[in-house]
Amino acid sequence: MNTEATPMSPASDVDRREFLRQSSTATLLASLAGGALTRLTGSAADPAPPEKKQTAPVSIGVIGCGSWGRDTIKTLAQLINAEVMGVSDHYEAFLRRGKESAPKAEGYKDYRQMLENKSIKAVVVATPTHQHKQVVLDALAAGKHVYCEAPLASTVDDARDIIRASRQHFAQVFQPGLQHRSDPQRHFLLQFLRSGAAGRLFKARSQWHKKDSWRRTSPNPEREKELNWRLDSGLSIGLAGEVSVQHIDNASWFLKEEPLAIQGYGSIQLWNDGREVPDNVHLIIEYPQRVLLAHEACLGTSYDSDHETYYGAESAVLLRKNKAWMFRESDAPLLGWEVYARKDKDTFFDELGIALVANATKLAAQGDKPVEEAPYANTPLYYALEAFLHNVHTISDGVADFTENFDATDKKAMKEYLDSLHKALMPSAAPLEGYRATVLAIVANQAALKNQRVTIPKELLQVS
Amino acid sequence: MKHSNLRSCVPHALAAFLLAGGLAASAQSLTLYKAQSSGSSVKIDGSSTIHNWTVEGKIIGGQFEVDPAFPLGGTPPAGKVNAKAKATIPVRSLKSGKATMDDVMQEHMKAKEFPKIDYELVGMNLKDSPKSASDPLMFDAQGKLTISGVTRTNAMLVTCDRADVSKLKFKSVANLKMTDYGISPPAPNIALGLIKTGDDIKVTIEWVTVLPKPDGDK
């Protein structure tokens, strides 16, 4: 189902008053402890969730068996609600490796043949970005629910076509692969930041470092060219697009704003092998009220890996993988709960990091897990696919219930009904959010390639 | 000869005509309203030891049939009404907004085995004659309510909005006990077992039915 706003994010409507109300009652500790971030139960007062019910598995196909596609297959194998029944790649070696990860799956060299398989209800599109559009359009037309990796496309026109198609196929789930939007740890931090508990957010910083040429080799020159699509500026939106899309989207989500402009700097520093795509990118993303996100992505160093920091007037919040810490300013008022929170003294030179751990006191009370353990240990991709499968179930059931009881030709009423189910969906990126993130990634790449500041007209972020 | 044949045919034709007419009259003896694709709602309110909870749904299928002689657009007299109704609610369409709570509810309602809540009207009485043709009608309705495979007789007060007689909106509130239908109130095995759900629930129904559109008018 293609709800356009962010209704699937329970924490998105949290306001400061509500959060501080929770904070002042039994202090913020209660919300940190009691599952304020329980994205499924939605409220700190709700009972903790029981063991997740095993629903009938969704029969799923994966299109594109490169490294990311294979990661996806392996992640799906961990989910009890998924059954990978098809894998597709036109490159024989990738197809073989994809099948090794999904023993029950049938292999298809042509994804269109897989789409003809009626028993496959949903597909994950993990092809190179510039190939997404046709695959997504074909999959939606074949009646499949679609999870499409982000960025959705390498051109704005392609991204728009994808969104329009997803709207047309409103009875199918279309989920952009903005994984953070499904990550319960991020929902926990979203609530924390949006509430104002860190003070007014006035800047952010993020980075992604990895020493990797991005160049792939193959004995077949034609195949090698195809494999290296990321290095082809005619096909790829580069580091700024392929990598930074998640960081920029996360900042837009947390700040609840869309950028007005992006200043970019790009250069080729370490991998000067004839490529046109920068291996070193710096971006300044300008949000309203001159709130700036400074982001950098680099293929020349793995030092310090990837992390994000949001700076508030009263504290800064650092996110690394599935963990987070708060660093209080000396003049910040005491919130209360941090007295009991775990402190990491030697991890950040001479800074005192106060661990932001969802359900921390509950974990302590249970006594069977160390408090320092992050309660959400799976990858963001895991949570995003888990949400996709849940939502496929919910929407499929909704369509079946509607069709069985009402006039199935009344599409307007059916859409209204499916839209009304949004509260029953697990948090995931909405199609329009995927579009906006893709456009920002494209703009960021343009800015980095030209070393320019590129403004973002509001209408560019809309799809008519 | 021809006359003779004609004479013998006429009674048969007349009989056939009358029979066909009678059958048609029988088939059309009640006016059919079908559940509308939108506008209906069911809301279930309950309690627990930590907070009140609500479950809502928007799918109520089925149909309502009423004697065409009953003046839906007028001021009918109080008394028995010749009517039939069947309504269905898919259990899984009831949503709390919390997936885990939905799972618990469906498990306790044995939704896999009994995926629907069914209601069948067995008797209907207009309580009072309305003062004007635009006033809602108030009925005492007796029916069979089946939840989780358990059928019990149910009596409730039903209001019928009939501002537009091509669309009838029925409203009712029923107070039920889960245990009457073999449902044990959920008591999740968490929080030291202190969380217990109350047995009493309040069900609020709004059911919109419409005259089916004639064929070719879609």
DSSP letters, A128-149, are: -GGGHHHHHHHHHHTT-EEEEE
CATH code for position A297: 3.30.360.10
What residues form DSSP beta bridges with B41?
B206
Q: Are residues A316 and A406 in the same domain?
A: no
Q: Are residues A190 and A317 in the same domain?
A: yes
The answer to whether the Cβ–Cβ distance between B37 and A402 falls below 8 Å is: yes
First to last CA, chain A: 18
Domain contains A6: no
Which of B21-30, B68-77, B207-216 holds the top average pLDDT? Answer: B68-77
Domain contains A244: yes
Nearest to B37 among A41, A413, A421 (CB): A413
Choose the final residue of a domain: A343, A366, A389: A366
Residue B213: pLDDT band (50, 70, 90) is confident
Q: Are residues A388 and A361 in the same domain?
A: no
Least confident of A373-377, B25-29, B43-47: B25-29
Domain contains A96: yes
- Phi and psi of A57, rounded to 5°? -65, 150
Percent over 90 (pLDDT), chain A: 77
The answer to whether the Cβ–Cβ distance between B188 and A41 falls below 8 Å is: no
| Per-residue model confidence as pLDDT tens digits over A320-334 | 988 999 999 999 988
Residue A463 · residue A435 · CB < 8 Å: yes
Q: What CATH class does B30-210 carry?
A: mainly beta
Comparison of pLDDT for A46 and A455, the residue scoring more:
A455
Average pLDDT over residues A213-222: 92
Comparison of pLDDT for A355 and B15, the residue scoring more:
A355
Phi-psi region of A143 (alpha: psi -120 to 50; beta: other; left: phi over 0): left
Comparison of pLDDT for A148 and A28, the residue scoring more:
A148
Q: Are residues A281 and A146 in the same domain?
A: no
Residue A162 · residue A227 · CB < 8 Å: no
Q: Are residues A214 and A133 in the same domain?
A: no
Residue A413 · residue A406 · CB < 8 Å: yes
Domain contains A373: no
Comparison of pLDDT for A10 and B203, the residue scoring more:
B203
pLDDT at B138 over 60: yes
Pick the residue from chain A with its C-alpha nearest to B212: A407
CATH code for position A419: 3.40.50.720
| Per-residue model confidence as pLDDT tens digits over A121-143 | 999 999 999 999 999 999 999 99
Chain B positions touching A48 (Cβ under 8 A) are: 188, 190-191
Average pLDDT over residues B202-215: 92
Domain assignments of chain B as residue spans, ordered by start: 30-210
Chain A positions touching B48 (Cβ under 8 A) are: 47
CA B128 to chain centroid: 21
- The confidence score (pLDDT) of residue A16 equals 40
Can you list the alpha helix ranges (DSSP code H) found in B79-165?
Answer: 99-108
Pick the residue from chain A with its C-alpha nearest to B102: A424
Domain contains A42: no
Average pLDDT over residues A217-230: 92
The answer to whether the Cβ–Cβ distance between A397 and B93 falls below 8 Å is: yes
Mean pLDDT (chain A, rounded): 87
Nearest Cα to Cα of residue A299 among A319, A273, A317: A273
- Phi and psi of A300, rounded to 5°? -95, -10
Pick the residue from chain A with its C-alpha nearest to B103: A53
Q: Which of B33, B36, B37, B106 to mutate to test the interface with A (most CBs of A within 10 A)?
A: B37
pLDDT at A151 over 90: yes
Percent over 70 (pLDDT), chain A: 85
pLDDT at A370 over 50: no
pLDDT at A20 over 70: no
pLDDT at B6 over 60: no
Domain contains A1: no
Domain contains A457: no
| Per-residue model confidence as pLDDT tens digits over B92-114 | 999 998 888 898 899 999 999 99
Distance CA A155, CA A132 (A): 11
Q: Are residues A149 and A206 in the same domain?
A: no
Q: Are residues A254 and A201 in the same domain?
A: yes
Residue A56: pLDDT band (50, 70, 90) is confident
- The confidence score (pLDDT) of residue B50 equals 81
Q: Are residues A354 and A415 in the same domain?
A: no
Residue A376 · residue A322 · CB < 8 Å: yes
The answer to whether the Cβ–Cβ distance between B37 and A407 falls below 8 Å is: yes
Q: How many CB pairs under 8 A join A and B?
A: 79
Residue A358: pLDDT band (50, 70, 90) is confident
Q: Which of A80, A399, A406, A414 to mutate to test the interface with B (most CBs of B within 10 A)?
A: A406
- Number of neighbouring beta carbons within 10 Å of residue B112: 10
In which domain, by residue range, is A128 found?
A: 58-178+380-432
Distance CA A423, CA A400 (A): 18
Mean pLDDT (chain B, rounded): 86
- Number of neighbouring beta carbons within 10 Å of residue A248: 25
Q: Are residues A101 and A138 in the same domain?
A: yes
| Per-residue model confidence as pLDDT tens digits over A289-316 | 999 999 999 999 999 999 999 999 999 9
Average pLDDT over residues A384-411: 96
- Phi and psi of B204, rounded to 5°? -110, 125
First to last CA, chain B: 52
Nearest to A404 among B48, B60, B61 (CB): B61
Q: Are residues A62 and A146 in the same domain?
A: yes
| Per-residue model confidence as pLDDT tens digits over A157-203 | 999 999 999 999 999 999 999 999 999 999 999 999 988 999 999 99
* CB contact B115 to A (< 8 Å): no
Q: Are residues A212 and A355 in the same domain?
A: yes
Residue B143 · residue B86 · CB < 8 Å: no
- The confidence score (pLDDT) of residue B28 equals 54
Chain A positions touching B51 (Cβ under 8 A) are: 45-46
Which amino acid, one-letter code, is at A262? I
- Phi and psi of A224, rounded to 5°? -60, -40
Widest CA span of chain A, in angstroms?
A: 66
How close B203 gets to chain A, by Cα (Å)? 19
Widest CA span of chain B, in angstroms?
A: 98
Nearest Cα to Cα of residue A361 among A28, A30, A21: A30
pLDDT at A381 over 90: yes
Average pLDDT over residues A270-276: 92
Q: Are residues A242 and A289 in the same domain?
A: yes
- The confidence score (pLDDT) of residue A31 equals 39
Domain contains A443: no
